[in-house]
Structure 1
Amino acid sequence: MLLLKNVYFIQAGIGILANAFFLIFHSFTIQQVHRLRPTDITTCHLAFVHLVMLLTTLDILSEDMFQLWNFPNELKCKLLFYLSRVTRGLSISTTCLLSIIQVITISPASFCLSRFKHKLTSYIVFAFFSFWSLNLYTNSYVIIYTVAHSNRTNLLNVSKYCSLSSMNSIIMALVLTLGLSQSGLFVGLMLLSSMYMVVCLCSHQRKSAYLHSMSISPRISPIKRATRTVLVLVSFFVIMYCLDIIISSFSTRLWRYEPVVVDIQRLVGNVYATVSPLVLISSDKRIIHLMQNVIDMATILK
């Protein structure tokens, strides 16, 4: 259990630093350019959501951080768990939006979504507002049913300090239906957009092979590189999401606090929030160029 806790803190630390670095870098970059790329706005939003998610779950897990806040335990539980649920919903919806944006970006003029290509920025702002409103509303039940930990037996413990009180069967069915419908819709859209991107990449690969046979050196275009990055992110998210559902189902059936199961669930649930900024950083030539310049400067100073 202590080993899992240490691994989780290391994972959260890496994720917080990576998301913060990505967010700060792009915040300065966005100020210097006159035209914003839709993918930059979306990845910045994703990094911000993941940063809040990791900080929130870190507060729930850490005894020192939890006791540091000068608020009643009940209020802390409601606030932290509510933010945790909202940010998880925003993570899946923003990743879905990123995949759809990439599909629109690479689609030909004959594609039905191509008419949105020139007004993507304004549509993205509306999408963000919709996602925040949807997740704040659908997770509002957490504020009502989250309580500070007590010795009552009809509680589902979500951490060492916070629990969920039992719900009416109708309310529970409604919550599960809304949650599964929302997640199923976004995952389904991600899978469809992933299939479209795979088809586009295969078509581009055939063209590259033809150019190579004509002794023309094919270069990997920025759009192709961005498409591969989004495809990696979406695929990794779907795998981690399915694994998280399996562990969450097992944890819910126990209906008691099992520290090992809860720690494993958080570890798996936050893997995507930790890995996604690393993938985005490694695929961004601007960041790689900046890091190379820093390394070269450090070498010269030595």
Structure 2
Amino acid sequence: MMAYSKWEMGIVLVIQMGVGFLGNSFLLCLYNFILLSGCKVRPTDLILNQLVLANSLVLLSRGIPHTMATFGSRNFLNEAGCKFLFYFQRVVRGICLNMTCLLSGFQAIRLCSHFSRWLELRMRSSTFIGLSVFLSWILHLLVNSSIILYITSPTRNESYSIKVNYGYCSSLDAARNVRFVCPAIFFTIDFICLSLLVWTSGSMVVFLLRHKQRVQHIHGNGHSSRACAEVRATSTILILASSFCSLYSLSALLSIWMSLVAIPGQWLVDISIFLSMCFPTVSPFVLICSDTRVTHNIFTSSSRQGKHFLLIWL
């Protein structure tokens, strides 16, 4: 029965990883094509490009090794491989958070009138956005380096107190200073980003409520078309922000629970991995459904192929 449950979990992870990776790969190709082809680029395209890239890396770095361990291939990483894998997982997870926060902040500054015009113009600058993305990567590459202190390979023979065994790597029951200082640093950075995310999301909710009241009195074609585009973009970002906050909160509560349990069971580890992959799986399809360029490109490609086959037939 236990083996059957492991196979079930492995199949769920494979499906989740495959669906999410396909969605993110499609968007990554689309955004790279837009950025490199000289087409009209939106200010948020670089942020979205990095978000779907980070989503793909989260799915691969978490899904592949845990699925292999679930199907019975255990202890396939050495000490250096385990440290690099968990370090990489933390970095790309942090980039997901930062890009979602940056995307929400950009839209809030664009919509809300109490922000200065100078800041709005800066946020529209591709140089400013590129610098923000670059600094996000540098920050997480530096901060998350401390995780190598309490990750080891199960094949290592030295006597360590193992806290969590993932099958392919293990988390150590670290010393008191490492146990509290490192999570405190991670929590502080995540708390700041989540606070900004909640604040900017609240600002956008206020904008949507005011817009709903305003459209009841204003009936202009030009105004309504522009407003509809803003509302669609704002609604998409709100869905991303709210889903990220909800899933992150569940994952954080589960992590706290795992830290309090003496030796967490395998089912807790499996659920933790599943929750960490939910946002990278869902978010690309939210973007696909809301981005008009996606449907336009699909429709254009289908029309060209239809004309091509028609000419060949004739």
Q: Scaled by the length of structure 1, what TM-score is found?
A: 0.89
| Contact 2:9/2:70, CA 8 A, preserved across alignment | no
CA-to-aligned-CA distance 1:106-130 (integer Å, 9 cap, x gap): 233xx23431222322222221222
User: What corresponds to 2:3 in structure 1?
Assistant: none
Distance 1:113 1:60, change over 3 A: farther
Moved more, 190-199 or 132-141: 132-141
Pair 1:6-2:4 in alignment: no
Aligned length: 297
User: What corresponds to 2:122 in structure 1?
Assistant: 119
* TM-superposed deviation, 1:155: 1.1
Pair 1:260-2:263 in alignment: no
The alignment partner of 2:115 has SS state of: coil
Structure 2: runs of 5+ lacking an equivalent: 1-5
Structure 1 counterpart of 2:196, which letter?
L
Distance 1:130 1:225, change over 3 A: same
Structure 2 counterpart of 1:92, which letter?
L
Distance 1:174 1:291, change over 3 A: same
Distance 1:293 1:65, change over 3 A: farther
Name the CA distance, whole Å, in 1 between partners of 2:116 and 2:94. Answer: 25
CA-to-aligned-CA distance 1:127-165 (integer Å, 9 cap, x gap): 122211221122112223211015856112251110122
Name the CA distance, whole Å, in 2 between partners of 1:294 and 1:251. Answer: 49
Of 22, 26, 30, the residue aligned with 1:21 is 26
Distance 1:119 1:66, change over 3 A: farther
| Contact 1:60/1:159, CA 8 A, preserved across alignment | no
Moved more, 268-277 or 157-166: 157-166
Structure 2 counterpart of 1:36, which letter?
V
Name the CA distance, whole Å, in 2 between partners of 1:194 and 1:284. Answer: 19
The alignment partner of 1:38 has SS state of: coil
The alignment partner of 1:221 has SS state of: helix
* TM-superposed deviation, 1:90: 1.1
Name the CA distance, whole Å, in 2 between partners of 1:156 and 1:138. Answer: 22
| Contact 2:19/2:281, CA 8 A, preserved across alignment | yes
User: What corresponds to 1:98 in structure 2?
Assistant: 103
| Contact 1:155/1:163, CA 8 A, preserved across alignment | yes
Distance 1:294 1:174, change over 3 A: same
Q: Scaled by the length of structure 2, what TM-score is found?
A: 0.85
User: What corresponds to 1:84 in structure 2?
Assistant: 89
Distance 1:85 1:40, change over 3 A: same
Superposed, 1:154-193 pairs within 5 Å as 154-193=161-200
* TM-superposed deviation, 1:6: 1.1
Superposed, 1:51-90 pairs within 5 Å as 51-63=56-68, 73-90=78-95
| Contact 1:60/1:80, CA 8 A, preserved across alignment | no
Structure 1: runs of 5+ lacking an equivalent: none
Name the CA distance, whole Å, in 1 between partners of 2:295 and 2:172. Answer: 48
Pair 1:242-2:249 in alignment: yes
| Contact 1:107/1:114, CA 8 A, preserved across alignment | no
